[in-house]
Chain A
Amino acid sequence: MTGAYPSEVVRVICAVASPFIALFGLYVIAHGHYGPGGGFAGGVFVAVGAILPRLTIDERLAYRLIPPAAGPLTAGIGLLAFLVVAVLPLFAGGAFLDYGALEIPGMEPARVRYLGILVVEVAVGLAVFGAMVLIFDTITGRSER
């Protein structure tokens, strides 16, 4: 379905740009506390960094970088991480998704909520990344390997 793009310019530009796009995605996820961004946009950016090589460079190389199994795997891990963070406060006597109820020694509740937001953003980013890669791989017929 996909494969090496005939134009060398396009191939080189995409191969050089895609790691930086993925890096910007990681920045957007991590910077969600202080600026625009978060799990959704960042996950899409990282997914673009994974999908661009699949469209342009040699497909064996591209699929060795990010194997097709990474899609469903990261989507599941992300969703699971979100659910774990959501359920954990229940054991500490709090409400569903109330991270502030978790008591971590030496940390005030606001800091725990800060960390909870970070975990949620990373989980959402993983889930979105996995979902996008999975959709692309199924459309191009490469999901089984």
Chain B
Amino acid sequence: MIVPLDIVLFVILIATAFLALHVKDLLAAVGLLSAYSLFAALLFAGLSALDVALVEAALGAGLTGVLFIAAILATTRRSAPRTDSRRRLVVIPLILGFVGLMLYASVDLPDRGDPDAPAHQGVATAYIEGSLEQTQTPNVVTAILADYRSQDTLGETLVIVTAALSAALVLVRRGDDEDEDEVAVGSTDARDGTGPTGGPVPTDDAGPTDDVEGER
């Protein structure tokens, strides 16, 4: 069963994803991706998955965009021009076939909130019935995440910290680079015009013709 609001959100989701792929300015693409995450969060909220919606809104619509923008400011703002259009001949039928497969598979899925659904047959019932007495926690999701299934959460935390440490190890500046960076902090604006302070970008916004100059 699908309510019309979901259809509207899905259309907006597909539109923002499509636009984010096709826009040339990477900052605009990041903004569109953040909008995508915000509407995905609304969709999750519509499904009563408030915990997931909160994380999606905070991470997807907020922090991921900030990290992308920081990466863009450290590199370049323009996306590389696409050269091979022949690849579409393969990719588009593949995607359409995959979508068809998913639609075919979704026919057999149980209705939303169906009490006879396989997901509600196993241990989930025990969690819902017992979590308040066993853990004194009214929010079942928290009780499952941090108590019944806390090994999953431990694994996730390990993955996040490991990912951050790996990013630090890969991206950390070497010693000889640092002195140069120290001097250039104040004058980066004048050097490449991409404005790391987020200020107006007089040279870079002139149009798509100055691609080469924009590449630094």
Contact = CB atoms under 8 A, between A and B. Distances in A.
Does A associate with B in a complex? yes
Interface of A: 1-6, 28, 32-41, 44-45, 47-48, 51, 55, 71-72, 75-76, 78-79, 82-83, 86, 96-97, 99-100, 110-111, 113-114, 116-117, 120-121, 123-124, 127-128, 130-132, 134-136, 138-141, 143-144
B147 interface: yes
A113 B71 contact: no
Interface of B: 50-51, 53-55, 58-59, 62-63, 66-67, 70-71, 73-74, 133-139, 141-143, 145-147, 150-151, 153-154, 156-158, 160-161, 163-165, 167-168, 171-173, 178, 181, 185, 188, 196-200
Contacts of A36: 50-51, 53-54, 139, 141
Given A47-B63, A128-B160, A41 B139 contact: no
Given A36-B139, A86-B154, A144-B172, A51 B63 contact: yes
B58 A45 contact: yes
Contact of B172 (A55, A99, A143): A143
B196 A120 contact: no
A44 B164 contact: no
B164 A82 contact: no
Contact of B150 (A32, A37, A120): A120
Contacts of B151: 96-97
Contact of A6 (B134, B146, B199): B199
Given A3-B185, A47-B63, A141-B173, A134 B137 contact: no
